[in-house]
Structure formats: C-alpha cells, structure tokens
Amino acid sequence: MREEPSLEVCEIAAAGYRTLRSIRFPVRRLSVFVGANGVGKTNLYRALQLIQAAAAGTLSRELAAEGGMESALWAGKRQSKKPVRMRLMVGLGDGAPPAADRPPDYTYEVSAGLVHSYVVDVGVRVPTGAAFALEPQVKEETLTFHHGPRQTKILERRGPSARARDVDGRLSELGADLMASETAFGARLDAARFPDLHMIRHIMLDWRFYHDFRTDTAAPLRRPSLAVATPTLASDGSDLAAVFATLVHIREDTYRLDAVIDDAFPGAKLVVPDPGRTASFGLIFPDYPQRVFDASELSDGTLRFLALAGALLAYRLPAFIALNEPETSLHPDLLPPLARLIADAAQRTQIWLVTHSQLLADALAEHAGITPLRIIKREGETWIAGLKLDGSFRDDDE
C-alpha cells in the first residue's frame, strides 16, 4: 500500500439513488456534464456529496435531510422480494481510466437502506437494528486496495460490526457495535494504527462542493470575514474576503487573480485593504476610477463570478472541486472567461462540473480541449450518452 499517494477520482458508480438506477463511468481530470433540466445532473453531483458524507460520518443525516430513504431511493420498478438498497462507489487512482485488467488503486463502496424489522405475535413492529423506523440505515461498507490481480480489504462492514486493516496488516475489529446511522469509514480511528483508512478518508474530506453561493442582501459573500489566513474557500463562500486577503497580503502574488478579473471585467481592479480584525474587498470599474464598490454593492452575477474565482484561485486548492451549474446568474459574456478560469484551474486540481449551459460547455471544450459528456434520460433513468454497460464509452466518445 502506497504512502502519501497522489490520488484522483477516476471512477464513480451509483445505484438505487433517485434517477440513478445503475450507472458507472470513468472520471477525468476535468469532467464536464451538460444536459437539460430534469435529466438528473444534480443527482450525479449529489451522489458524490453523499460519498464524502460517508467519509465524514454524516451519510444518514444527509439522506434524512433530503427526505429520508423513501425519497432518496430509486423510484422506478424494483425486483420483488429483494432488499431495497442505495449503493455508492468511488474509485481513486493515478488518473488513468480504469479498465477490467486495471482497476482503481482504491475503491470505497457503501450501501444504505431501510431498517429491517419483524412482527411479534401480538402485532408489534420491533426494529432489529439501532435505528428509527424510517431512518436511513448503513448496511455495508468496503474499502479495497487493488494491487495487480490481487485485492486487499482495508475496511469491511456488515451491519453493526466492522473490521479494518491495521498497521501490521491484520484485520482488527473496530470495537463497539456501530449504530445504523454511523459509517465505519467516518469513525474516529487512530491514524497511526489504521494509516491507509485514515489516508483515504483525509483525501475525501478535502473535496469541495460549490453550488450554493447566496447573493441576497444578507449573504455571507457580501459581508467582511474574520481576518484569518485562509488557504481554501469554504463551500458557502463565507470567507471569500479572507481568501482574497490571503492572496494579496500573505502570498503577495495576484497575477492569476488580476488576469481573471480583467478578462471578465475589462479594466476593473480588485481592491483588498490591509486587514484589521476583518477582511473585505471591492472593485474599481473603469467608468468610476475614484470609486470602490464594496461587496455589498456588487451585482449578483459579479459577486458569483468573484466567488468562483476565489474557489479556483485560492492559496491552496483542494484535491477535488465539484461545481454545480456555476453559470447561474452570470451574463453570457462571462461564460468564456469562466471557461478559461476553469481550464486553468484544472491544471492544478481535479474538477467536476455539471451545467445546463451549452455555451459554457462549448467554451470549455474550446479552452480545455475536452469533450463534454451529455446527460440524458433513458426510460426514466439518468444516463450518459455514449456510455456502455461495462462503464466505458464508445470508441467515438471520450
């Protein structure tokens, strides 16, 4: 098992989740998914979030918050007399596309379902697991290391019991029984005793998902943030001012940031005052060279573009960035600069993007040299055009 590897997301699989009946596909350095509203693009994005939630130990809570298992499970026809399950899988490797004879270096898989129960002779429904009647219940988990034709289980969980491979290579019981709402992957295990498990969990917790940049008058983006050196933008953008201040006053290198702002708003200049207790920022536009428009005054589209710039140009980029419809509120003129920003950032980190804007997808194809993947509906399920059942694409597709 490798020490301190550079691992990228190279494969995703999901089954039994909302419109994802059963799908598996490779993931590239920059993966762009384009499709109309209602085809299930957000479900693909959400499946990735749920995989990270499993690493954080919050999978059941996340599923409960989106309506519980009854809402999250595949709504189409199901095989009778079989347990209803939602399954999620991620493969991590060196970035090369997985193949039958070359699987990802590591694969993590988790399944969840409803509580099993039985009825005693007096008609009382008694749960068989430590969970509420409609609570999402974690059923199985595995973390597998693939080396050549061999496989080594790093983590095995069935129901309430789990084992993990320790530093000596032995599968050891994790101790107390897990509750149905807990993932074994999210357990706070000794990093020195379980180094591989800790390493993969650390990688997955570094992922960032950007989809909810509020721009209303009370939005965090419009407020100063605490003056604390901030290497990576928070998912809600609440520390954007601190991210900009870190670039300007700590790294003292804003070449990329200045170029991106000039590309999007020709002649404009970002102003980041020397922080005191708080950090703030504003823009000077060429039409008003003596006036600084602070964050509270900027238009929704301008503010959202600056938030995306903060996410993609931060002092330290996360290992994986997922963007859900980043074109929201942006004027069409901002989409080519956004595409150039994303293409440049993809040289330094892995990016996953879903969009319904064909203009943005075309601009990314031009500036990043990639082929966007088209999300479609196929007999009620979300699918990718050109994807074969074995998880690869036709020869004429990427």
DSSP string, 167-207: TTS-EEE-SSPPPTT--STTS---TTTSHHHHHHHHHHHT-
pLDDT of residue 118: 37
Q: How far apart are CA 212 and CA 244, in angstroms?
A: 19
Considering the domain boundaries, does residue 374 fall inside one? no
Domain count along the chain = 2
Considering the domain boundaries, does residue 1 fall inside one? no
Phi, psi angles (nearest 5°) of residue 214? -70, 145
Average pLDDT over residues 240-258: 96
Q: Are residues 82 and 22 in the same domain?
A: yes
Considering the domain boundaries, does residue 103 fall inside one? yes
pLDDT greater than 70 at residue 101: no
Q: Are residues 197 and 260 in the same domain?
A: no
Q: Are residues 218 and 289 in the same domain?
A: yes
Among 317, 348, 376, where does a domain finish? 317
What residue numbers bound the domain in which 90 lies? 8-27+43-205
Q: Are residues 229 and 195 in the same domain?
A: no
Tell which residue, 397, 292, 394, 392, has the closest CA to residue 10. 392
Considering the domain boundaries, does residue 388 fall inside one? no
* Confidence band, pLDDT 50/70/90 cuts, at residue 394: confident
Q: Are residues 201 and 216 in the same domain?
A: no
Q: Are residues 232 and 261 in the same domain?
A: yes
Q: How far apart are CA 108 and CA 154, in angstroms?
A: 10
Q: In the numeric block, which tokens belong to residue 388?
A: 């074969």
pLDDT of residue 114: 79
Residue with the larger pLDDT of the pair 118 and 299? 299
Tell which residue, 239, 310, 309, 245, has the closest CA to residue 272. 245
Q: Are residues 194 and 216 in the same domain?
A: no
pLDDT of residue 128: 47
The lowest-confidence range among 72-86, 146-160, 215-229, 350-364 is 72-86
Q: How far apart are CA 242 and CA 348, in angstroms?
A: 21
Considering the domain boundaries, does residue 389 fall inside one? no
DSSP H or E run through 387: none
Among 158, 180, 205, where does a domain finish? 205
pLDDT of residue 129: 54
pLDDT of residue 350: 96
Q: Are residues 121 and 51 in the same domain?
A: yes
Torsion, Cα of 285, 291, 295, 301 (10° steps): -30
Average pLDDT over residues 357-379: 96
Q: Are residues 239 and 134 in the same domain?
A: no
pLDDT of residue 148: 76
Q: Are residues 51 and 127 in the same domain?
A: yes
Percent of the chain at pLDDT above 90? 73
Among 205, 240, 257, where does a domain finish? 205
* Confidence band, pLDDT 50/70/90 cuts, at residue 115: low
pTM exceeding the 0.85 threshold for the entire prediction: yes
pLDDT of residue 130: 59
pLDDT of residue 213: 92
Percent of the chain at pLDDT above 70? 91
pLDDT of residue 392: 82
pLDDT greater than 60 at residue 285: yes
Each residue's pLDDT tens digit, 145-198: 998 778 999 999 998 889 999 999 999 888 667 888 899 998 878 889 999 999
Each residue's pLDDT tens digit, 38-71: 999 999 999 999 999 999 999 999 999 988 888 8
Considering the domain boundaries, does residue 274 fall inside one? yes
Query: What mean pLDDT, rounded, does the chain reach?
Result: 89
Considering the domain boundaries, does residue 180 fall inside one? yes
Q: Are residues 195 and 173 in the same domain?
A: yes
Q: How far apart are CA 287 and CA 64, in angstroms?
A: 50
What's the DSSP call for residue 97? P
pLDDT of residue 397: 46
Determine contact, residues 260/311, Cβ cutoff 8 Å.
Answer: no
Determine contact, residues 301/308, Cβ cutoff 8 Å.
Answer: no
Q: Are residues 190 and 230 in the same domain?
A: no
